[in-house]
A and B are shown apart, each in its own frame.
Chain A
């Protein structure tokens, strides 16, 4: 079982007004089968944390390891999904999904086959030959997810993947993420600024404070497992227990923070 761990990590940036502590002694661990969600306002170092796990940057102190080995750069064992879809607009939808396979020099027919299967998996069957410019925001995020899955990664790292989507599309893709998690057991790290999304998706929820970015609270919500056991998303989100948990987080941590979304979408 693969394990990605962040151990006592600090990151700071020099600015004209002195050092900014983006992350301060943060520790967390993601194993296969976990969905760890980081919730926090902007400036709390969420994206920096994801960048460390993806291997885009190094910590100033502490260690980020994968299966015990220090992460020194990006790798196909960790699939990343970006808020800005970061697709290649000159390629068709299917070619985008197969981008990682192209890099690994997988043959054309196998690429096509696997891209078709993945696009079917994320609900985009029939859109294989469409141009990226022809797809909606939700469809592009589904495509970004399929592209990350094509490499069969041990971990999925998602940087506010649903932040720019309308509420309805967002709910559907949340369910899609849980479906994929249930079927593959991939370890997931997801960043969001929506309390509701965090509660619904997380098996472990960490709340981060801004400047310095610190973990101020850890929770183990059980709603994702209830979804996996067959309960519908609507029924979970309407459950008084869910609403109570949502209000509790809101009042305890974000009562004066306008950036955090607390409305039920």
Chain B
């Protein structure tokens, strides 16, 4: 057999080895972020001024350093019989269980409605009916049915996450490249292998996008869920602090809730880059 000849383009690719990854971030990323920093610092300065000069009573708006001190205090000695870590852990655990449960149920259902028109027609009205209803509106019903324990709180977050995740998975499955499916079938894939080796990996980017949106909804629903006579949790902490007009704890709690939301967002984005980078 004669040695295989390569085209010019292929030769260039061969010689240069692994091609340079394309960089999407402009070299002046720091400059692009300067306005953001100005906004944040400006807000902090305004806060400092307004509270420092007594324009607003510290009962309503405590100074930034007072909030910071309080944050350290609730992190070490705690607030309402639990430290900040315990409140955070309680909240994250509820969201965590809801996410795991939603992934375990919404993804298979999404795959089913994506593959099967009948299943899609059967499930769609149910999801479309409850999805636009704010979780707080059906919260009372959940309390009547499941009481005020952990089940109700987890269930509420679960329901908030479930719908966007089913819809994202379903639409992802419907958009799976048809030739890719034919290729796998001609290589001997069974129905189950098609789902496992072609449909699910093809849909992963959609599932992660759905999860990112769903987590945003789920985390904001959390505060509502923790209004139901919780003993622990960030939502509970903020809620009970407001009842005693402990404004610095309220603000500290809100900041922690925002920080965690940002962290969740960033970690899903990391997962998207790591496991679904091929789709972008």
- Looking at the assembled complex, report how far the CB atom of A86 sits from the nearest CB atom of chain B, in whole angstroms: 4
A172 within 8 A of B: yes
Q: Are A169 and B7 in contact (CB under 8 A)?
A: yes
Q: Are A103 and B193 in contact (CB under 8 A)?
A: yes
A108 within 8 A of B: no
B14 within 8 A of A: yes
**Residues 1-30 of B contacting A (Cβ, < 8 Å):** 1-2, 4-10, 13-14, 18-19
A60 within 8 A of B: no
Contact of B188 among A56, A104, A136, A176 (CB under 8 A): A104
A133 within 8 A of B: yes
Q: Mark A196-222, 1 if CB is under 8 A from B, else 0.
A: 000000000000000000000000000
Q: Are A89 and B9 in contact (CB under 8 A)?
A: no
Contact of B5 among A126, A132, A175 (CB under 8 A): A175
Interface residues on A, range: 35 or more
- Looking at the assembled complex, report how far the CB atom of B254 sits from the nearest CB atom of chain A, in whole angstroms: 39
B198 within 8 A of A: yes
A-B CB contacts (within 8 Å), total count = 104
Contact of A172 among B7, B18, B189, B204 (CB under 8 A): B7
B273 within 8 A of A: no
Q: Mark B217-261, 1 if CB is under 8 A from A, else 0.
A: 000000000000000000000000000000000000000000000
B175 within 8 A of A: no
Q: Which residue of A lies closest to B193 (CB)?
A: A103
- Looking at the assembled complex, report how far the CB atom of A234 sits from the nearest CB atom of chain B, in whole angstroms: 11
Bound CA span A16–B5, Å: 49
Those 8 A-B pairs whose CB atoms lie nearest each other, nearest first = A76-B188, A123-B4, A100-B187, A86-B183, A169-B7, A80-B186, A89-B278, A86-B179
Q: List 29 A-B contacts (CB under 8 A).
A: A56-B186, A73-B185, A74-B188, A76-B186, A76-B187, A76-B188, A79-B186, A80-B186, A82-B179, A86-B177, A86-B180, A88-B198, A88-B201, A90-B275, A90-B278, A103-B184, A130-B18, A136-B9, A136-B10, A138-B9, A139-B10, A147-B183, A147-B187, A151-B187, A169-B7, A172-B5, A172-B7, A176-B4, A179-B1
